[in-house]
Structure 1
Amino acid sequence: MSTSPGVSTAPAPIRTSNDLGLGLLRQPTSVLFGPGQRRQIPAILESLAEHVLVVTDERMAASAEFSAISEELRSRGVRVSLYSGTRPDLPRENILEVTERFGSAGVGAILGIGGGSCMDLAKVVSIVLTHGGDVRDYYGEYLVPGPGCPVVTVPTTAGTGAEVTSISVVYDKDKGMKVGVASPHLEAVAAVIDPELTLTCPPGLTAAAGADALSHLVEAFTGRAKNPSSEDLATKLYVGKNRLTDLYARTGIPLLQSALGRVCANPADLEARSDTLFAAYCAGMSINTAGTAGAHAIQSPIGALTHTPHGFGISALLPYVMRYNLPTRVPEFAEIGRLLGTADVAGAELEQARAGITGIEHILESIGAPIDLKTLGLSPTDFDTVASQALLATRLTANNPRDLNHGAVRFILERGWAGDRSWWTI
């Protein structure tokens, strides 16, 4: 690969494959999908606890739909406590505040309703309320000693897939980075996915969330296959792309191609909202065992520096991370090209793979998402800092199909800042 002077890239790419033929999913006990299904939430919660803590944000707490859910819960004799102070990118302070306020309140179940931060907050609070300590005690994989109180997740945006994932991502300002609490014990007991709740999602947030969901599908489908041992399966959340995660990715990618542009053009299009939310659910199911990869590792420090939305940071990186990973994932990108209808099925596999990458870029462009790093306001003087911080996210870099080191991340940043979407020399 051509490089800038003084910049070393990763070693020659080595392809990994799922030689075991492994398929593995983690998921809530129940998933209920469809317009209007939020009306089942009170009955689900009534069966779980007499005292429910509802975790959401100010926008959702002020909605008529939220009031209807709360009133129905109370009419069934369920005591309802409310926390509506969830902030974007889930700061650790939110967790401290909730656990201090409700630590001795006898909460029996938690409803997390809102965007990814609301659902992540509900999941991690259930663990801290049950097992005590500070959330920092659980940073990492498989450090949660057991289940928390039951959690029901309800998304109001179509992006993170947090309703079905067993991880909560926390921003720790003292560390200056996002950290994951990853354990099967974070899995919700039920996810209620109602597209009608996304109808009031603002256009900018709809686009950013959609870009995030698309990146989840791409990174899960093109991520590293790991052929895990029995010990790996028992101790690691992300065990690599596999037959079952691929199944969900193959469903979600073409759904977003057809629905994302429509929903951004007409936010009231319920069919497009439904397809987008279903694709985001598919993405969550994919990343729950395959994980996200290089784009997510690099975006985190960029987001901290530029204060740009996560989904738009991901969209600005994805074209360049895909190009970097292409040598190890030609068959997968070629299949994406065929799924999107952008590849000539009679053409060479490499050309089909390139058509898959440009097809993903066209989806991002169609919703107005940025596809270069200069647009985010990132400065070249920050490249070394970003590269160093990105490599600390080892749970993500380990999923990237091509090895990453400091020089490789810097190379991606340089190409992304320049908007260089030529086909790099390999």
Structure 2
Amino acid sequence: MTAAAPGLPAPARTENALALGILRQPGTVLFGPGQRRQVPRLVAGFARHALLVTDARMAASAEFAALADGLRDAGVAVEVYDGTLAELPRENVMELVERFRDRPIDVVIGIGGGSCLDLAKVSAVVLARGGDVRELYGEFLVPGPGIPVVTVPTTGGTGAEVTCISVIYDAERGMKVGVASPHLEAAVAVIDPELTLSCPPGLTAATGADALSHLVEAFTGRAKNPGPEQLASTLYAGKNLLTDVYARAGLERLASSLPAVVADPADLAARTDTMFASYCAGMAINTAGTAGAHAIQSPIGNLTHTPHGFGVSALLPYVMRYNLPARVPEFAEIGSLLGVADPGASELERAKAGIVGVESLLEVLGAPTDLAALGLDPADFGFVADQALLATRLTANNPRELTRAAVLEILERGHAGDRGWWSL
């Protein structure tokens, strides 16, 4: 089919030979326009003292005030932490826990973008169990459940409302780290597309690109065929039957909803479809995981201080091309799901059409599709490659083995904007 480029590992295809299907998900998911108004009723059924975790922009909104007032009217005391910062620095976790550790909090409600939701999930565990969040870095290291969490996303992209991982930037380590455990799963996720109507265009573009990258990486990721011990100790069990269902549904929605949102940011139907696709992406990556683009983006984001969604969008065209030899049928199906592949063409041509279709959606969003646009200095390629390969939780999901040479070539092609096909 396809030969490896000189010096790079030959492509190998993995199959879900076990016909495995696995999902991890919140106990309750409530989706639809206006559904945020049900949060007070839901919370009052099991809690009396809520901590609302958000950022300064959301805390100043009428929607946030209405939610807090609704909780109080339902007999729930309300505390607020509104200091969440982008990319979730560890200091946010430390500050929140220090401020509220002695309060009788019995529910943590995260409302906002991915960092707000990640902070709510991880701080609920640290508040309940004590200690330093650093003790929880890694997979399955959370010893037990935390305070119940309710997630209310305000962006259509991260899927953090349904994932059981929180990503934290640890400045002393100079890298992002994950706290990954089923104990971080929200008790309730309330997904209201109306909350995305006020999303600024730049944030809409970055989160839309993030959702698209999640769907592509989950659908084309590695199938692992894990045994019982692996399932009990590894968050990312690999691409499987159930994650594929969500990935397909999400890709179909984004094909039409992303252009519609760009054309009219007030189009609630398009916002609804985009947020549903983001939810599907979260459900897919919760067990399939993200892969190469996310592993390489993390050190690039640290160097360039660019949004996560724009980092993965700039990498995705080149990572997809690298992965194509190991995932031709999946990329061909993406071409069909996006409505861009000629049914009469060969499977390889349909796969290439799928990749170009993904790139076209990124371009419609106005997301960058090359690394020079992020300001990445080629002198840093070696550092980026070394750091990316440390993210084994992510690189293990890539459908084709990632070596240092492979990452360097992805970076070189990505910086040059070289969208030629790798040697066939």
Fold equivalence (TM over 0.5) = yes
- C-alpha displacement at 1:302, in angstroms? 0.3
2:224 to 223, 226, 232: 226
Partner of 1:153: 151
Distance 2:361 2:38 in 1: 34
Correspondence 1:361 to 2:359: yes
Q: Does the aligned pair in 1 maintain the 2:4–2:10 contact within 8 Å?
A: no
Residue 276 of structure 1 corresponds to: 274
CA–CA separation in structure 1 for the residues paired with 2:25 and 2:99? 30
Work out the CA distance in 2 between the residues paired with 1:308 and 1:73. 36
* CA distance in structure 2 between the partners assigned to 1:196 and 1:394 by the alignment: 37
Give 3-state SS (helix, strand or coil) of 1:153's partner: strand
Give the superposition deviation at 1:75. 1.4
Structure 1 CA distance, aligned partners of 2:55 and 2:46? 23
Counterpart CA distance in 1 for 2:323 and 2:309 is: 20
Equivalent residue letter for 2:294:
H
2:119 to 93, 118, 121: 121
Match of 1:409 in 2: 407
Which residue identity lines up with residue 265 of structure 2 in the other structure? P
Per the TM alignment, residue 22 of structure 1 is displaced from its structure 2 partner at its CA by: 0.5
TM-score (norm 1): 0.98
What is the correspondence of 1:136-285 to structure 2 with a 5 Å cutoff?
136-285=134-283
Contact 1:127 1:149 in 2 (8 A): yes
Kindly indicate whether the alpha-carbon contact (under 8 Å) linking 1:26 and 1:184 is maintained by their aligned counterparts in 2: yes
**Shift in Å at residue 48 of structure 1?**
2.1
Structure 1 CA distance, aligned partners of 2:90 and 2:239?
30
1:111 aligns with 2:109: yes
Give TM-score scaled by structure 2 length: 0.98
C-alpha RMSD of the superposition: 1.0
1:55 corresponding residue in structure 2: 53
Q: Which residue of 2 aligns with 1:317?
A: 315
Residues of 1 paired with 2:263 and 2:305: CA distance?
26
Kindly state the Cα deviation for residue 46 of structure 1 after the two structures are TM-superposed. Answer: 1.1
Q: SS in structure 2 opposite 1:287?
A: helix
Query: What is the alpha-carbon distance in structure 2 between the residues aligned to residue 284 and residue 360 of structure 1?
Result: 18
Shift of 1:99: 0.2
Deviations 1:54-89 (A, max 9, x none): 000011111111111111111122110000000000
The answer to whether structure 1 residue 330 and structure 2 residue 344 are counterparts is no
1:349 pairs, out of 336, 339, 347, with 347
Q: CA deviation at 1:346?
A: 1.4
After TM superposition, give the deviation of residue 8 of structure 1 in Å.
Answer: 3.7
> Partner of 1:382 in structure 2?
380
Task: Give, as a single letter, the amino acid of the residue that structure 2 aligns with 1:334.
Answer: A
The alpha-carbon deviation at position 380 of structure 1 amounts to 0.6
Distance in 2 (CA, whole Å) between partners of 1:369 and 1:292 is: 19
- Distance (whole Å) between structure 1 residues aligned to residue 29 and residue 185 of structure 2: 12
Matched residue SS, 1:235: coil
- Kept in 1, the 8 Å contact 2:118–2:166? The answer is yes
Which residue, 325, 336, 339 being the options, matches 2:337?
A: 339
Deviations 1:238-273 (A, max 9, x none): 000000000000000121110111112211110010
The 5 Å alignment of 1:21-100 reads 21-100=19-98
Rounded Cα–Cα distance in structure 2 between residues aligned with 1:137 and 1:98: 17
Distance 1:344 1:268 in 2: 33
Task: Provide the C-alpha distance between the structure 2 equivalents of 1:361 and 1:76, rounded to a whole number of angstroms.
Answer: 47
- Secondary structure of 2:212's match? helix
Distance 1:8 1:138 in 2: 38
Equivalent-residue separation in structure 2 for 1:345 and 1:109 (angstroms): 51
- 3-state DSSP class of the match of 1:391? helix
Aligned partners of 2:370 and 2:99: how far apart in 1? 42
Given that 1:48 and 1:150 are in contact with CA atoms closer than 8 Å, whether structure 2 keeps it comes out as no
Inter-partner Cα distance in structure 2 for 1:2 and 1:396: 22
Task: Provide the C-alpha distance between the structure 1 equivalents of 2:73 and 2:243, rounded to a whole number of angstroms.
Answer: 40
Alignment-mate amino acid for residue 312 of structure 1: F
Asked if structure 2 preserves the Cα contact closer than 8 Å seen for 1:52 and 1:78, the reply is yes
Specify the code of the residue in structure 2 equivalent to 1:71: D
Looking at structure 2, the residues matched to 387 and 292 of structure 1 have their Cα atoms a distance apart, in angstroms, of: 17
Aligned-residue offset at 1:2: 7.8
| Structure 1 unaligned blocks of 5 or more | none
- The share of aligned pairs that are identical, in percent, is 69
Aligned length: 422
**Alignment partner of 2:289 out of 291, 296, 320:** 291
One-letter amino acid of the counterpart of residue 153, structure 1? T
